[in-house]
Amino acid sequence: MCGRIFPVERIERLLNSNRRWAEELKADDPQFFERLSESQSPELLWIGCSDSRISPTSSIGLLPGEMFVHRNVANLVNHSDMNCLAVMQFAVEVLKVEHIIVCGHYGCGGVKAAFDDARYGLVDNWLRHIQDTMHKHESALEKLPDYEARLDRLCELNVIEQVISVGETTIVQDAWDRGQTLYLHGWIYRIGEGIYRDMKITVRSLAELDAMRSQTYKAETRPVGSVPA
């Protein structure tokens, strides 16, 4: 698939694949798309990296309509990012999702660029936030044996920091104040395995978020890349 194909032909192939996909779904459930067109009631919001090698909905066995999705480079949740906040607000207050999964991945190009202090242009400003995480955990990262271990750990720490960031939004805190059920999860993915790992930092209240925040450094003492599958 990586070979050069004349672009127009490639686009036609995409449209043909789409028709086959829709036909297959309709063969299983003839009213599937009709029902979808009426409403959506996803129970999950996914906040993940834009990386092309990750295919969130299908890789966890979900169908269209089952998960609301927001993706950006390096799965960052910044409190000044209106795009991410708008997605979260709509998902929590209108769709009433019960779970928000922040999913990062090892070998993330965004995390690596920030770690290497590489220069790619505008995106460097976006990745600044990862450098903040890196500086915050600098002493722990420096204790790790090599570059790969530090990068893996920074990918893990980035997920933890983003889960905290989600929990610190007025959107989530207001939901918890109202007594709305809302779980925040941190997952990490190793592309070479195709397997997601639960980082076991799930929180469902402000008190749990505070406790999790104070335990953040636990991740710094666990062997790198050792989040169990």
Q: How far is the CB of 152 from Co ion (least distance, A)?
A: 13
Determine the residue type at 198. D
**By the rule CB under 5 A, 49 interacts with Co ion:** yes
Q: Which stretch binds Co ion (CB under 5 A): 4-12, 49-57, 184-192, 194-202?
A: 49-57
Q: How far is the CB of 74 from Co ion (least distance, A)?
A: 5
Inter-residue contact 154 to 133 (CB < 8 Å): yes
**By the rule CB under 5 A, 102 interacts with Co ion:** no
Q: How far apart are CA 97 and CA 166, in angstroms?
A: 14
Give the distance from CA 186 to its chain's centroid: 8
Q: Could you give the dihedral angle defined by the CA atoms of residues 200, 144, 189 and 46, in that order, rounded to the nearest 10 degrees?
A: 60
Verify whether residue 174 is a known catalytic residue: no
Tell me the sheet residues that pair with 203. 184
Of the residues 44, 51, 87, 166, which one makes contact with Co ion according to CB under 5 A? 51
Inter-residue contact 226 to 217 (CB < 8 Å): no
**By the rule CB under 5 A, 114 interacts with Co ion:** no
Verify whether residue 152 is a known catalytic residue: no
Q: How far is the CB of 204 from Co ion (least distance, A)?
A: 27
Residues that bind Co ion (CB under 5 A): 49, 51, 108, 110
Catalytic residues: 49, 51, 53, 105, 108
